[in-house]
Every structure is written in C-alpha cells, then in structure tokens.
Amino acid sequence: MSELLIKQQTFSRLVPSLIIHAHVLGFEVTLGDCFRDPRVHGKFGEKSSYSHRNSAHKLKLAIDLNLHKDGVYCTGTEAHRCLGAFWKERHPDNRWGGDFTKPDGNHYSHFYRGYV
C-alpha cells in the first residue's frame, strides 16, 4: 500500500469527527473543495484556475468547510479557530489553514511530504 493511500485513508477517517465537532460548537456545515480535479485545476505541480499548484486538495488530503451560525455564513478565519485547534489535536499531521502566512480559515488538511 502506498504512503499516499495510507495518508488519504487516515484523512478520510478523521474528517467526520471534524464535522461532528463543528455541530457540537453550534455550527451548521456545508462542504467546500475536497478533491480538485486535475482537468480543471491542473495536475499536481501545475497552476490552473484559483488552485495552488501544490494544493493538498489535488492529493485528496484537504477539505474546505463552510461554517454557518444562526443562518449566517461565517466568512472569517476567526470563526474557525476553535475547530482548527480541535483538528490539530486529532493527529500530528493535521494542519489548519488559519495558521498559514495568508490565513485560509476554512481549510483543513493532512500533511504529506511538505504539502498542506
């Protein structure tokens, strides 16, 4: 079994707890990008559309979650802070986009060979 496949399986097992915890925190959740199709976003290492050329989404190791509170879409990174902390505690390879130099609060990923 490949290292990437093992990472993808681990990530897939962890995501449901993230969504459930968002509900525990009082949020409703809709799903954003998970897999970015190379026909639209370019192959891994290529830049096309809005996607980063080395996006973990292209490796099936990232998901964007959209949070809603009391019927209002939470657009800022701050709304994701508690959920980001929870995510990082679940596994040492989990990363949260709110920690990025250019914050991306709704981004939750699993580290693989330098890609988040």
Strand partners, 51: 48
User: Is 116 within the bounds of a domain?
Assistant: no
| CATH number of the domain within which 55 lies | 3.30.1380.10
Identify whether the C-beta of residue 56 lies closer than 8 Å to the C-beta of residue 112: yes
For the chain, the distance separating the N- and C-terminal CA atoms, rounded to the nearest angstrom, is 21
CA distance 99 to 95: 8
Domain that holds residue 74: 3-110
Number of structural domains, the chain?
Answer: 1
The C-alpha angle 78, 79, 82, rounded to 5 degrees, equals 90
The model carries a pTM of: 0.86
What digits encode the pLDDT tens for the residues 55-95? 788 889 999 999 999 999 999 999 999 999 999 999 999 99
101 within a domain of the structure (yes/no): yes
